[in-house]
Structure 1
Amino acid sequence: MNGSLMRVGTSYIPVQDIELAAEWYVNIGAVLNYQDKEKAILDLANQSIFLVKSSEKQSANFYDIGGKEHFSLTFEVNGMNTLTSLHREFKEKGITVGEIEDRGHAGKNFVFQDLDGNMFDVWSELSPVFKEKYRIN
């Protein structure tokens, strides 16, 4: 298929305060490429992330069929040691994080939140395609 989708290039995240949110994301490892009063453009986890000034009580979260609030993005890390280290680092930085959990599939996960309550998942497994492309063991 010549016209197939190849990758996700940009994710958009609603935030209340662009300056504060951009600083928060830089603190967790993002690189700030551009910022004005309505948006900030970041590089994080091999993806472009746009922080977009939004109205109050907006988030990238949604509710699943059971009524549970759910994250919309999962970040991958390379193994359990990295997952537990990142979990500890986020807790030390005062970031809201959930417990490391076993969801019945390969690896383990935890959920964290940004300043605006946007929830993100972290998984201890890198995708095989990513590992092969970047020659990661």
Structure 2
Amino acid sequence: MNNQLIRVGTIYIPVKDPASSSEWYKGKLGAKLNYLDDEKAILNLADISLFLVKAVGQTSNFFDVNGAERFILTYEVDGLEALASIHADFRERGIKVGEIENRGHAGRNFVFSDPDGNKFDVWSELSDEFKRS
């Protein structure tokens, strides 16, 4: 089938100030800045293009049916040791992180937030496609 979706290329994230947010993503997460103007910043992180788009009073988060605030994106690391290591590293860098959780499925997770309150998840289970790389 030639018309199948292959990968996620870009994620759009609302931020108050693209310039200061891009500095946070570069400094705290190691993202690479590709473009910046007054309304957006384009960065590469974990093989995905992040568009930080200037917005007012919004985050990318949403509320599930039980009222829990959720994230739009889960990053993967290779194993529990890698998860614990990046969790500790994020704390040392001053990133707002939650506790490592057991959610009743394979692996463990934790949630972190950017300065604008956008939440992201990190999971200890690496997708098979990347295990083969």
Moved over 6 A (4+): none
Q: Give the gaps of 5 or more residues in structure 2.
A: none
Match of 1:20 in 2: 20
Q: Which amino acid aligns with 1:38?
A: E
Q: Could you say what the CA RMSD is over the residues aligned between the two structures, in angstroms? A: 0.8
Partners of 1:82 and 1:34 lie apart in 2 by: 30
Partners of 1:104 and 1:130 lie apart in 2 by: 23
Counterparts in 2 of 1:2-17, with a 5 A limit? 2-17=2-17
SS in 1 for 2:97: coil
Q: Which amino acid aligns with 1:43?
A: N
* Percentage identity across paired residues of the two chains: 61
Q: Which amino acid aligns with 1:111?
A: V
Counterparts in 2 of 1:1-137, with a 5 A limit? 1-27=1-27, 28-55=29-56, 57-132=57-132, 134=133
Partners of 1:32 and 1:43 lie apart in 2 by: 7
Q: What TM-score, normalized by structure 1, do the two folds share?
A: 0.93
Partners of 2:26 and 2:125 lie apart in 1 by: 23
Partners of 1:64 and 1:15 lie apart in 2 by: 22
Count residues in correspondence.
132
Q: Which amino acid aligns with 2:64?
A: D
Partners of 2:93 and 2:129 lie apart in 1 by: 32
Q: Give the gaps of 5 or more residues in structure 1.
A: none
TM-superposed deviation, 1:51: 0.4
1:103-126 Cα deviation digits (max 9, x unpaired): 111110000000000000000111
Q: What TM-score, normalized by structure 2, do the two folds share?
A: 0.96
